[in-house]
Structure 1
């Protein structure tokens, strides 16, 4: 059972589990070019937020941006359903350079592949995934309440331990 601001939501797609091969997906970069699971090599932290322009999502993106700067070989991908233009504008205003924002607005490919597409809102549910360099899922956190903060320490520890 998942909620958004206390209201029940329906998550579409299949949730992933630690140990499985990370599902592929196609999202859009800020320049509208397609991006897949394999566009970035090495260890990836996938930080999923409902909307980059909200307080908790902004804080989540900034926190992973700060932490990623201290880990060699880790790329942070922040995925939301915000339009690529809005993501680019947010990044420029925020001055963040250690995180990549990607948009799943076109067809919810990521949302369905990872089980985070919110049917009622057409947003993505807050979650975090860590994928190692062999595309194995090594960390998963689905938030029961999409407005709560993720466990940054656990995700960062998983990324540091990944190969």
Structure 2
């Protein structure tokens, strides 16, 4: 069973434990405009799928801003940040933070993305939120990079994710 940590305490993750070499599940989240946002599977572009607990935390906000800047020049990549925030709150965050280079979506409805990617936290005060994780999916729909951040309050390894995108070209 997969896990992460929250302030040094182990948090169990539930859902399908997928990894590098597995097919990326095709799942739907809700966009800031309330339209469906599909992630996973084969697509014309490499996918960067990022899950975070809530955009309303400093770490999640910083991570989303950083990836927004990092993927600005990567026209080979489709980037989606998924949280449990309501679409209205996500839209407000994007507007106030100048998020224009990636898609922000919500998994609040049925937690299908978090379950399909094995990142739904099941313990602690964060139960029901997504763990901080990064997946890179190549054009064929295969996961070529996965990071479940060891401590949910820490940022991911940006350089490793960006390198995986470049290698997936």
Q: Does residue 17 in structure 1 map to residue 19 in structure 2? A: yes
Q: Which 4+ residue blocks in structure 1 deviate beyond 3 angstroms?
A: 38-41
Structure 1 residue runs without a partner (length 5+): none
Q: What is the alpha-carbon root mean square deviation over aligned residues? A: 1.5
CA separation in 1, counterparts of 2:59 and 2:44?
28
| Equivalent residue, structure 1, for 2:64 | 61
Map residues 12-161 of structure 1 onto 2, 5 A cutoff. 12-37=14-39, 41-120=44-123, 121-161=127-167
User: Scaled by the length of structure 1, what TM-score is found?
Assistant: 0.94
When the two structures are aligned, how many residues end up with a matched partner?
163
User: Scaled by the length of structure 2, what TM-score is found?
Assistant: 0.91
Residue range with higher mean Cα deviation, 2-11 or 146-155? 2-11
Q: Secondary structure at the match of 2:22?
A: coil
Deviation at 1:38, TM superposition (A): 5.6
Q: Secondary structure at the match of 1:18?
A: coil
